[in-house]
């Protein structure tokens, strides 16, 4: 590392940069991203994009106006099993979408230690952390979310950053959503699920007029399992992910796509070098943030909250 800075503004002013990666806590994304765009730097930002939808929209607009590449690191966009499922959906496997279930469970929030992600003064809790992944997966596979009802859980008490009383954010979330095309969905994310020897559990269930798809995504081998059945089939069939989707990655280690393929941070770099769109973009981050904001409002108000889905 040729130079170390304690102030991002000094780093950007020093020049000799092409791009920045924003991995600071959520409440700092906005200021750093705007400064980077104003400096003409390409920006890769950790999810969720911002503290709220207003900030996220401003970030997306500033990045577009600056003409820089901008990406949000929604990890599961690059998982070959989900990419294959997206192809199946595009080819009409489900037909008209009826309803679906999107679930992502972990246990890291069971700890009572301080964590800024679970500090309401710094972030939107589990909903903004792994919840952002599930929301992005749902809208990527199915489409925009038009309305949200939500129940957020606050089960584990933890101290503040100084060791005193804390202001705990949600550590689990259950969302009932309506997609813009009329389909229904249940989104569940939890950080307080005891999973024993499993680091995480992730499942997607999709039901449509013409077929059904079920996806289980183990974190570290064996390979994901995809089952499907068209409306004229009486039994579910295991659907193998074609080798082309894996490329040089090892199916027994799905996260190897980030060290072998043009995925994640490497995809961001390739988008810059090839002058191609960087996806998922800040626009995708803004759309996810709209759902997060709506879920927080729905939980507080005890009623469904509509989301503007028109183009920004």
Q: How many CB atoms lie within 10 A of CB 308?
A: 11
Average pLDDT over residues 19-31: 97
pLDDT of residue 139: 98
pLDDT of residue 197: 86
pLDDT at 220 exceeding the cut of 70: no
Q: What separation in angstroms does the CA of 76 have from each of 137, 194, 257, 302?
A: 7, 22, 11, 31
Q: How much is the mean pLDDT over the chain? A: 95
pLDDT digits (tens, 9 = 90+) for 76-126: 999 999 999 999 999 999 999 999 999 999 999 999 999 999 999 999 999
Tokens for 8, please give them: 């991002």
Do residues 174 and 186 make contact, with C-beta atoms less than 8 angstroms apart?
yes
Band of pLDDT at residue 218, cut at 50, 70 and 90? confident
Centroid of chain to Cα 73:
7
pLDDT of residue 221: 61
pLDDT of residue 126: 98
Centroid of chain to Cα 288:
8
d(CA 310, CA 312): 6
Q: What separation in angstroms does the CA of 195 have from each of 98, 102, 292?
A: 30, 17, 25
d(CA 143, CA 122): 29
d(CA 312, CA 301): 26
DSSP calls for 134-190: HHHHHHHHT--EEEEEEEEE-------TTSS---BPPSEEEEEEEETTS-EEEEEEE
pLDDT of residue 10: 96
pLDDT at 259 exceeding the cut of 80: yes
d(CA 210, CA 23): 42
H helices present in the chain, as ranges: 8-13, 29-38, 53-66, 80-90, 125-128, 130-141, 243-246, 257-260, 265-274, 282-301
Band of pLDDT at residue 46, cut at 50, 70 and 90? very high
Do residues 286 and 56 make contact, with C-beta atoms less than 8 angstroms apart?
yes
pLDDT digits (tens, 9 = 90+) for 184-197: 999 999 999 999 98
pLDDT digits (tens, 9 = 90+) for 122-146: 999 999 999 999 999 999 999 999 9
pLDDT of residue 224: 84
Put the strands of the sheet holding 145-153 in their side by side order. Answer: 237-238, 225-230, 211-216, 201-208, 97-105, 184-190, 172-179, 145-153, 305-306
Q: How many CB atoms lie within 10 A of CB 34?
A: 17
Q: What is the pTM of this model?
A: 0.97
pLDDT of residue 295: 98
Q: How many CB atoms lie within 10 A of CB 303?
A: 9
């Amino acid at each position: 590392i040729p130079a170390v800075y304690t102030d991002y503004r000094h780093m950007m002013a020093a020049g000799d940069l092409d791009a920045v990666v924003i991995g600071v806590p959520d409440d700092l994304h906005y200021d750093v991203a705007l400064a980077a765009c104003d400096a003409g730097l390409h920006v890769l930002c950790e999810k969720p994009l911002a503290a709220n939808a207003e900030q996220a929209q401003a970030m997306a607009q500033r990045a577009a106006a600056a003409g820089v590449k901008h990406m949000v690191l929604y990890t599961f966009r690059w998982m070959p099993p989900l990419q294959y499922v997206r192809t199946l959906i595009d080819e009409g496997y489900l037909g008209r979408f009826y309803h679906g279930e999107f679930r992502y469970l972990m246990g890291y929030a069971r700890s009572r230690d301080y964590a800024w992600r679970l500090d309401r003064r710094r972030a939107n809790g589990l909903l903004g952390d792994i919840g952002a992944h599930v929301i992005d997966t749902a809208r990527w596979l199915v489409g925009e979310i038009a309305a949200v009802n939500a129940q957020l859980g606050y089960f584990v008490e933890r101290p503040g950053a100084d060791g005193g009383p804390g202001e705990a954010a949600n550590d689990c979330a259950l969302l009932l959503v309506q997609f813009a095309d009329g389909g229904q969905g249940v989104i569940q994310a939890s950080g307080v699920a005891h999973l024993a020897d499993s680091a995480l559990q992730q499942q997607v269930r999709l039901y449509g007029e013409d077929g059904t798809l079920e996806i289980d995504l183990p974190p570290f081998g064996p390979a994901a399992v995809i089952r499907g059945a068209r409306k004229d089939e009486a039994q579910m069939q295991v659907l193998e992910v074609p080798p082309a989707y894996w490329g040089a990655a090892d199916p027994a280690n799905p996260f190897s796509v980030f060290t072998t393929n043009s995925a994640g941070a490497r995809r961001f770099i390739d988008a810059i070098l090839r002058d191609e769109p960087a996806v998922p973009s800040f626009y995708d981050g803004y759309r996810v943030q709209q759902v997060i904001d709506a879920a927080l409002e729905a939980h507080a108000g005890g009623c469904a909250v509509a989301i503007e889905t028109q183009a920004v």
